[in-house]
């Protein structure tokens, strides 16, 4: 199984400041045939199901504010929130969909 | 609009089985795969498996092999997940969620079903 490890486990950022969450996979999730990185990011608020933010490591889902961005290589990925808003307080998860089981990171709790 | 409506909360005894449902609407049922993901209280997300509503093919996480069965009913656009031999560690919120293909991100989630396992 591909192990996904996020860092940090929790993060406190001031309003308007940048937040950076890292995700590392135990093996590459880059498929050389199409040069796609099989990595997604989700946001989960208390009592709600997760919500898709980013797929293909850097493609923003429709309707997601442009302050959210994703980047990374085959094994190291980053979710960046450029200017933190109050509504961004949540848990954030990365997930690889390169091979089953489609494993998630342990989550990062983002606070103000 | 897309909806994945899950069945209500369940309370089961250890050793019992639970069968959850996930009714899809607002899109072509057979065009999207359905995943099951669970989340124990205060814990992270755990992927359990995937079912193709078109052909019924399934892939389960090794951890759940032999205990989980995912099926679908195309006449009612409903997917089912049955988990047997329940233990306390199976207490969790169970989500169904869809993706447009087998190797694809999840783009929409159901509201979740709470399963409690207690004697």
CB atoms within 10 A of CB A50: 26
Q: Which residue in B45, B49, B104 is closest to A97 by CB distance?
A: B104
Q: Calculate how close chain B gets to A98, using CA atoms only, in Å.
A: 6
Q: Which residue matches tokens 């309003």? A: A15
Is there a contact between B109 and A93 if contact means CB atoms under 8 Å apart? no
The pLDDT assigned to B53 comes to 95
The pLDDT assigned to A12 comes to 97
Q: Which of B18, B10, B29, B3 is nearest to B114 (CA)?
A: B10
Give, in degrees to the nearest 5, the angle at Cα B97 between B76 and A107.
165
Query: Model confidence over A10-48: pLDDT tens digits?
Result: 999 999 999 999 999 999 999 999 999 999 999 999 999
Q: How far is it, in rounded angstroms, from Cα A66 to Cα A38?
A: 21
Q: What three-state secondary structure class fits A90?
A: strand
List C-alpha distances in Å: A13 to A71, A84, B63: 20, 7, 37
Query: Model confidence over A45-87: pLDDT tens digits?
Result: 999 999 999 999 999 999 999 999 999 988 999 999 999 999 9
Taking CA–CA distances from B35, the nearest residue in chain A reads A102
Residue B103 forms contact with A (CB below 8 Å)? yes
Is there a contact between A100 and B106 if contact means CB atoms under 8 Å apart? no
Residues of A near B (Cβ–Cβ under 8 Å) read 1, 38, 40, 42, 49-52, 55-56, 61, 93, 95, 97-98, 100-107
CB atoms within 10 A of CB B4: 24
Query: Model confidence over A85-103: pLDDT tens digits?
Result: 999 999 999 999 999 999 9
In chain A, which residues have their Cβ closer than 8 Å to the Cβ of B99?
A: 97
Chain B interface, mutation test: which of A7, A102, A103, A108, most B Cβ atoms within 10 Å?
A: A102
Is there a contact between B46 and A42 if contact means CB atoms under 8 Å apart? no
Taking CA–CA distances from A95, the nearest residue in chain B reads B105
- Encode burial over B15-45: b for 16+ CB neighbours within 10 A, e otherwise: eeebebbbbbeebebeebbbbbbbbeeeebb
Q: Which residue in B47, B59, B63 is closest to A104 by CB distance?
A: B47
């Amino acid at each position: 199984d591909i192990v996904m490890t996020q860092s940090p486990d929790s993060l406190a950022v001031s309003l308007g400041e940048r937040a950076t969450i890292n995700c590392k996979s135990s093996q590459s999730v880059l498929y050389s045939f199409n040069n796609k990185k099989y990595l997604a990011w989700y946001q989960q608020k208390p009592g709600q199901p997760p919500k898709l933010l980013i797929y293909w490591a850097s493609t923003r889902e429709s309707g997601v504010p442009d302050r959210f961005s994703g980047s990374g290589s085959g094994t190291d990925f980053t979710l960046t929130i450029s200017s933190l808003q109050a509504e961004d307080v949540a848990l954030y998860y990365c997930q690889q969909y390169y091979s089953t089981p489609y494993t998630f990171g342990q989550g990062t709790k983002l606070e103000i | 609009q897309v909806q994945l409506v899950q069945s209500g909360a369940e309370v089961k005894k250890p050793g019992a089985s639970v069968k959850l449902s996930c009714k899809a609407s607002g899109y072509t049922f057979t065009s999207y795969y359905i995943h099951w993901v669970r989340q124990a209280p205060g814990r992270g997300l755990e992927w359990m498996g995937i079912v193709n509503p078109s052909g019924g093919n399934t892939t389960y996480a090794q951890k759940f092999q032999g205990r989980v069965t995912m099926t679908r009913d195309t006449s009612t656009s409903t997917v089912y997940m049955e988990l047997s031999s329940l233990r306390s560690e199976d207490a969790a919120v169970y989500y169904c969620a869809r993706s447009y293909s087998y190797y694809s991100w999840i783009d929409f989630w159901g509201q979740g079903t709470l399963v409690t396992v207690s004697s």
